[in-house]
């Protein structure tokens, strides 16, 4: 809940905003005040803005015959249900977060494995490129020798052994 005093209302502001009878509203606050989440800002007591609507609803229930004890029990039960709902939502969110984290970690492992395999493949390609370079150099050397032999007119007389030299 935002603790900025500007987001909280004095009792007079609550009464005005909720269009409440001053005496009824003050009685409700006297009887149920601790359940309305009041906060002290210096020497001024303020209430969260939704209290104006809540007091209007409680006033209607009082007019229907509800006692202060009934209203107090209602607020306590509502708070408990709200807290249980919050805890259930929090638990669900934590379970979802755990699942998402597990999936994310699994995906990260896949990416790292893929990266490792790509690195190995690139090393293999580099090795092949080096072999190709060596092979091309040998082919160029042999082509040069063939070219030299042709220019000397020895085209068909390739040495086959030591006697031919």
> What pTM was estimated for this model as a whole?
0.47
- Residue ranges covered by each domain of the chain: 5-66
Tell me the C-alpha distance between 165 and 160, whole Å.
8
Q: Which two tokens stand for residue 146?
A: 């063939």
Number of other CB atoms surrounding residue 105 within 10 Å: 10
Tell me the C-alpha distance between 37 and 52, whole Å.
12
The pLDDT tens digits of the residues spanning 110-156 come to 999 999 999 999 999 999 999 999 999 999 999 998 988 888 875 55
Residues 30-41, mean pLDDT to the nearest whole number? 86
Tell me the C-alpha distance between 53 and 9, whole Å.
12
Tell me the C-alpha distance between 75 and 58, whole Å.
10
Banded model confidence at residue 31, pLDDT cuts 50, 70, 90: confident
Q: Look at the domain 5-66 and name its fold.
A: Multidrug-efflux Transporter Regulator; Chain: A; Domain 2 (1.10.1660)
- Cβ within 8 Å of residue 164, ≥6 positions away: 157
- Cβ within 8 Å of residue 157, ≥6 positions away: 164
């Amino acid at each position: 809940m935002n603790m900025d005093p500007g987001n909280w209302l004095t009792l007079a502001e609550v009464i005005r905003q909720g269009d409440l009878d001053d005496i009824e509203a003050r009685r409700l606050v006297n009887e149920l005040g601790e359940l309305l989440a009041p906060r002290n800002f210096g020497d001024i007591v303020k209430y969260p803005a939704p209290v104006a609507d809540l007091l209007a609803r409680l006033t209607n229930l009082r007019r229907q015959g509800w006692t202060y004890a009934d209203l107090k029990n209602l607020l306590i039960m509502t708070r408990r249900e709200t807290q249980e709902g919050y805890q259930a939502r929090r638990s669900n969110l934590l379970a979802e977060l755990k699942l998402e984290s597990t999936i994310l970690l699994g995906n990260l492992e896949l990416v790292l494995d893929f990266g490792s395999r790509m690195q190995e493949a690139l090393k293999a390609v580099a090795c092949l490129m080096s072999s190709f370079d060596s092979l091309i150099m040998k082919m160029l050397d042999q082509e040069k020798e063939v070219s030299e032999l042709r220019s000397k007119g020895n085209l068909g007389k390739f040495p086959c052994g030591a006697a031919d030299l």
